[in-house]
Amino acid sequence: MMQPPAQQPASTENLSPNTLLWIKVAALFAIFIAYHAINLVGVDYVSHFLPAIERGHAGEPLYSRGFFNPPWSLFAFEVFYHLGLIGAQAGIIIFTVATMFAAFRLYLMPDSGYAAPFALAFVFINLHMVDFVTRIQVEGFILLGVLFMYASIKSQNPYQMGFGWVLATIRPTSVLLLWPYTLWIVYQRGWRHLAQTMIIPLIAVTASFALYGNWLEELYVYMTTRERPPDIFVTAFWRAVSHFGFPTWSAIFLITPVLAITGWVLWNRPQLDLKTKMIYLILASLLVTPYVTSYHYTIMMAMFIPMLLQVKLWWGIPLYALTITPVTRPFIEPFPAWFDMGFIILAWGLTSYIIWTNQSPYHQPDNPPIIPT
């Protein structure tokens, strides 16, 4: 008996690569035009990074007025600095969005269906992204570093890992748990591979001392003598416990279960695919790190949201609802930014469940596994 042909999914259920490409191009140009039109000034770029660049040009000490990043962060910003104040900020936003698109495309499967357009909207239309745009920060550089780490693990190219390390150390606290993981992988590949991996980081460090002098001592002095304003925008367990009157060290009782569960899940899933593993480690990093603010979440959104919505589309509803918590700050207490942690807690919890129940949409295991065998 002749079987009827299998019904093909409607073409509207998937975004073709060409459609995604045109959406990306249109979004990039729209951001550039809109940014020039409204003439926004990113508060962090203007108050922290731009003065640091100009102090470096003048041969003055780098560290003051809220600048804490290593000097090679200025190498990255220097590319955009010569576009002028507004042009540089628009360029940084376009670069960041383009990097997020690259991560988004990496984590989107060809048969993702309706998850593709919903994930695209989720990633780029939320208050954490608005927070980034009004600040102009280093998220694009860190995310690019993560992508280079991923590429290096897949290709076993040590120079890609070295370049990824340089970019990610622009703010190392955002990807805290990727450091032991990638170091373990490099170590497993032998001393020659390690030596090759260290070439680009050593070049960056050497150039930073040659251009800016003993910046490490300067940073230490600045960190230990500066007046410390309250970290009202920090969204970490360390700040949350202080808000409720507990000593800061008591955050260890919240961090330890996160580390224990993360380690247990990964130990019991040694053949977990690399994409899911990296986003899981980043999510856990954002929970245990001593310093994180809500615009840091954009690093993982382009990776995590496509994965989540490809597993269960409706899971995006409660998660997206938690991205609006910044609007509650003026109405609850003075800037209770720790409240925004609900988003990361739920994201980490859902990813733990996805891994434990073997629901990851990616099926190719990486080599080597996270746990030595």
**Confidence (pLDDT) at 13:** 45
**Confidence (pLDDT) at 286:** 93
Question: Coil, strand, or helix at residue 273?
Answer: strand
**Confidence (pLDDT) at 365:** 54
Q: Which residues contact 106 (CB under 8 A, 6 or more apart)?
A: 147, 150, 275, 303
**Confidence (pLDDT) at 148:** 97
Residue-level length of the chain: 373
Query: What is the model's pTM?
Result: 0.87
What pLDDT digit, counting tens, does each position of 227-254 carry? 665 565 667 888 788 777 888 889 899 9
Burial class (CB in 10 A: 0-12, 13-18, 19+), 254: middle
- Low-confidence residues in the chain, pLDDT < 50: 1-13, 367-373
**Confidence (pLDDT) at 353:** 96
Treating both helix axes as pointing N-terminal to C-terminal, what angle do 298-311 and 85-107 enclose, rounded to 10 degrees?
30
**Confidence (pLDDT) at 35:** 61
Burial class (CB in 10 A: 0-12, 13-18, 19+), 346: middle
CB atoms within 10 A of CB 107: 22
**Cα 137 to Cα 93: distance, rounded to the nearest angstrom:** 9
Q: Which residues contact 150 (CB under 8 A, 6 or more apart)?
A: 106, 274, 275, 278
**Cα 300 to Cα 283: distance, rounded to the nearest angstrom:** 7
**Confidence (pLDDT) at 210:** 92
CB atoms within 10 A of CB 368: 14
**Cα 251 to Cα 288: distance, rounded to the nearest angstrom:** 9
Q: How many alpha carbons fall within 13 Å on the CB side of residue 158?
A: 17
**Confidence (pLDDT) at 68:** 86
Give the N- to C-terminal CA distance of the chain in Å, as an integer.
52
**Cα 202 to Cα 148: distance, rounded to the nearest angstrom:** 17
**Cα 283 to Cα 294: distance, rounded to the nearest angstrom:** 13
**Cα 333 to Cα 343: distance, rounded to the nearest angstrom:** 19
What pLDDT digit, counting tens, does each position of 317-344 carry? 999 999 987 777 666 655 556 778 889 9
**Confidence (pLDDT) at 14:** 58
Three-state SS string over 23-85 comes to HHHHHHHHHHHHHHHHCCCCHHHHHHHHHHHHHHHHCCCCCCCCCCCCCHHHHHHHHHHCCCH
**Cα 251 to Cα 13: distance, rounded to the nearest angstrom:** 45
Q: How many alpha carbons fall within 13 Å on the CB side of residue 366?
A: 27
